[in-house]
Amino acid sequence: MKRRTFIQGLAALGVAGALPLSLSRAFAADIAIVNPVSVDTLPKLKGALTLYLGRGEGGLYENVLQAIQKKNPDLDLAIRRGPTAALANTIVAEANAGVKRADLFWAVDSGAIGLVTDAGLAKPMPSDLSAQLQPQFRYDEWAPVTGRIRTLPFNTERLTKEQIPTSIMDIADSDLSIGWAPAYASFQSFITAMRLLEGDDKTAKWLKKVKKRSKTYAGELGVVMGVERGEVDIGFANHYYTLRLKSGKPDAKLDLAFTQNDAGCLVNASGILSLSEDPLAINFMRYLLSIEVQSYLASEAYEIPLVNGITQPDGLPKLTSISPPKIDLTQLADLRPTIDLMRSSGVL
């Protein structure tokens, strides 16, 4: 796919279609869903802001920030970059030391968001901004920006979808060869969800069983590439790695399978929160939920837009066909028990 720049997208992108709403809460009769707005209708950003930005998405988030700055030449945006979990810990440590450096935190994983909100550092979300999000993704102190689904990418020359268990726990007892990236943050959030849903003992047994038939990769793009090359039958990865690979290689021997109602199909989210009372910070957040930014991240990053009325990424099944577990994403904040469990299981 030819990559568009977001700068062009600011002028050209619009609402391309309707996003099939996911989960049972999406059409709750008493919850109004407000359509997103164009950046052209948002307040101009003037003044200084410091954003802590978790690394992610191959520079696409950087493209968004550059476009926002270009559209708002009076915005003085300082950016501190780093791993999402490390930045979350830094924000908490700075607050404990009586130091405030960040106005905004854009995290690529909701667990890091939970670490900051649990510390009582996030400012409340205005109701009009939350109303643009689908009901199941509304939180009092942060705004999910885009979603991602845990998936089972599989090699279509070696397997059919019907041969893959629909329970993540049953994967451990199958004879499938598996690719995974245990050191990767998204995988660790997935294991945290498994711990919360299944308990530590079952999760430890699952890890030990899977380890016997797994091949380890540095990241989840590597997992998906290994699946496509036939090095393993299936893998554990966020959905967009498969969609991105297939966008550049349409004949790839690769497809997606989903488990049901368990951690294997967890819907996680990147998100942003304000650490400042300055209205400028909230107005900056409005840009990330705009039509243009949501459309760009859906079409270029293959992430799932969480506002109403934006077309979902090409190649992803309707979200109404996916059954993710019911879990508060901010509960994924405490990774320490997960890391300890993975180490004691010989995975890390």
User: Does the pLDDT of residue 38 top 50, yes or no?
Assistant: yes
Q: What is the pLDDT of residue 79?
A: 95
Reported as a pLDDT band with limits 50, 70 and 90, residue 187 is very high
The separation between CA 273 and the C-alpha centre of its own chain, rounded to angstroms, equals: 15
Helix-helix angle 200-212:336-344, to 10 degrees: 50
Judging by DSSP bridges, how do beta strands 304-305 and 47-54 pair with one another? unpaired
User: What span, in angstroms and rounded, lies between the C-alpha atoms of 164 and 167?
Assistant: 9
Does 241 show up as a binding residue in the annotation? yes
Q: Is the pLDDT of residue 148 over 70?
A: yes
Predicted pLDDT at 309:
83
Residue 24 predicted with pLDDT over 70: no
Whole-number pLDDT of residue 242: 96
Tens digits of per-residue pLDDT, 293-320? 999 999 998 999 989 888 888 888 776 7
Which token pair is 320?
A: 């109404």
What is the structure's pLDDT at 15? 29
Residue 19 pLDDT exceeds 70: no
Distance of CA 236 to the CA centre of its chain: 15
pLDDT greater at residue 53 or residue 9 = 53
Look at residue 185 in the predicted model and tell me its pLDDT.
81
pLDDT of 169 higher than 50: yes
pLDDT at 27 over 50: no
Top mean pLDDT of 53-62, 107-116, 205-214, 305-314 is at 205-214
Find the DSSP H helices in 199-310.
Answer: 200-212, 220-229, 239-248, 279-288, 291-300
Asked if residue 58 has pLDDT above 60, the reply is no
Q: Does the pTM exceed 0.85?
A: no
User: Looking at 42-51, 55-64, 120-129, 239-248, which range is the least confident one?
Assistant: 55-64
Least confident of 206-210, 224-228, 282-286, 305-309: 305-309
Per-residue confidence (pLDDT) for residue 42, from 0 to 100? 96
Q: Is the pLDDT of residue 6 over 60?
A: no
- Percent of the chain at pLDDT above 90? 68
- Give whole-number Cα distances, 240 to 67, 115, 144, 254, 283, in Å: 23, 25, 17, 13, 28
Q: Looking at residue 29, what is its pLDDT?
A: 37
What are the structural domains of the chain?
A: 6-147+268-322 (3.40.190.10), 149-265+336-344 (3.40.190.10)
Report the C-alpha gap between 211 and 346 in whole angstroms. Answer: 8
- 11 DSSP assignment: H
pLDDT higher than threshold 90 for residue 31: no
CA 230 distance to own-chain centroid: 27
Assigned token pair, 77: 């945006």
Provide the mean pLDDT of the chain.
87
What is the pLDDT confidence band of residue 168, given thresholds at 50, 70 and 90? very high
pLDDT, greater one: 230 or 12: 230
- Lowest mean pLDDT across 55-64, 137-146, 258-267: 55-64
61 labelled as ligand-binding?
no
Q: Which helix (H) or strand (E) covers residue 70, if one does?
A: helix 60-71
Contact 301, 146 (CB under 8 A): yes
